[in-house]
Structure 1
Amino acid sequence: MCPNTAEASTLTDALRIQFLDTHNVRRSQLAQGNIGDAGPNRKTKLPPAKNMRELIWDCTLEMEATNHVRACPVAAAGTSTNGENFHRVSSANLQYYRDGVKDAVVAWWKVYRFYSVPRQIYMATHSAASSYTQVCTTCSSTALQ
């Protein structure tokens, strides 16, 4: 998917595909209106998307993220003009990199469970829910974690 260069990240195509598939499955569920909100018994569904695009990989964003991660940061860079999510996992807690992929994506998506429809219409960019809104926005068509 991305050229192998000395400066390239350590992500394999298998991990890139896992990121995309894990996001796209959840985006599809949201697009179809199959995500329950945080209300009682999750009976109310979040509204379906009208224009949910399938994510595609962006190698340039991957390099931006790789360069940021090499500094071993404790927070998102906040300098990109693109939406940005951050999830830090200790490699000591992971048996496989794919476990870190799943852990990050699940953490970003589970935020919706804490908000009820239509109670939270507007979210500030610094809101805890911003990780969810970054991964499910309908204008997103590229993915990089």
Structure 2
Amino acid sequence: MIMIHLNIAAVVSYKCPGGKLTPQERINIVNQNNKLRSQLIHGKLKNKNGTYMPRGKNMLELTWNCNLEKSAQRWADHCIFGHSSRSEREGIGENVYAYWSSGSVKNLKKTAGTNAGKNWWSELPQKYLNNPSNYLTASVASQGVLHFTQVRNFLFENN
């Protein structure tokens, strides 16, 4: 079982001393999320209704944060499928992804982070119903789209 626990924020380097991801894996994860966030903010992604999501603004590009990686890895090393306690990640959002396979962990590891991202972003076209206000409400949460809303982070305003 591979567990990916991913948190992204801003710093300048893709080299994280003692980290388990390679610089290229980090770059791939950040690039994937920035590409999808850009498509979203430019109104190029559709929800489950087939409606384009509203255009937005003020959604900054992401860069990697080694401290968040370390925090996520610390929890993933417990091999518990579930979220860490809020006290262990104060002020930090969190998505959890698990993948079971009989394949080589070494080969799966190279794409585990981007596979997790694909899974989380797939909630938009598969589950996310039209929400013109772009507010995260109990009704939106009940659609099973909280992973998508976490990586999207509801950071933009409607035009």
Instruction: Please name the residue that 1:102 is paired with.
Output: 114
Is the 2:135–2:154 Cα contact (8 Å) retained in structure 1?
no
Shift in alpha-carbon separation, 1:91–1:2, aligned structure 2, 3 A: farther
2:130 to 117, 122, 132: 117
Spell out, residue by residue over 1:101-145, the C-alpha distance to the aligned partner (whole angstroms, 9 max, x if none). Answer: 2220011111112122137853349652111111112549xxxxx
Whole-angstrom CA distance in 2 between matches of 1:138 and 1:53: 12
Alignment of 1:25 with 2:35, yes or no, is: yes
Question: Is residue 130 of structure 1 aligned with residue 130 of structure 2?
Answer: no
CA distance in 1, matches of 2:123, 2:85: 20
Residue 143 (structure 1) aligns with: none
Query: Does structure 2 conserve the Cα–Cα contact (< 8 Å) formed by 1:38 and 1:112?
Result: yes
1:63 partnered with 2:70 = yes
Query: Structure 2 counterpart of 1:133, which letter?
Result: T
Mapped to 2, the partners of 1:2 and 1:78 lie a distance apart of 27
Contact 1:123 1:130 (C-alpha < 8 Å) held by counterparts: no
**What residue number does 2:10 align with?**
none
Query: What runs of 5+ residues in structure 2 fail to find an aligned partner?
Result: 1-13
Query: Deviations for 1:1-21, whole angstroms, at most 9, x for unmatched residues?
Result: 2342xxx23111011001101
Does 2:41 correspond to 1:35? no
Taking structure 1 as the reference length, what is the TM-score of the superposition?
Answer: 0.80
Letter in 1 for 2:63: I
RMSD between aligned residues: 2.4
Give aligned-pair identity as a percent: 27
Kept in 2, the 8 Å contact 1:18–1:98? The answer is no
Change (3 A) 1:126 1:97: same
Separation of aligned partners in 2, 1:129 and 1:82? 18
Distance 1:78 1:29, change over 3 A: farther
Moved more, 127-136 or 117-126: 117-126
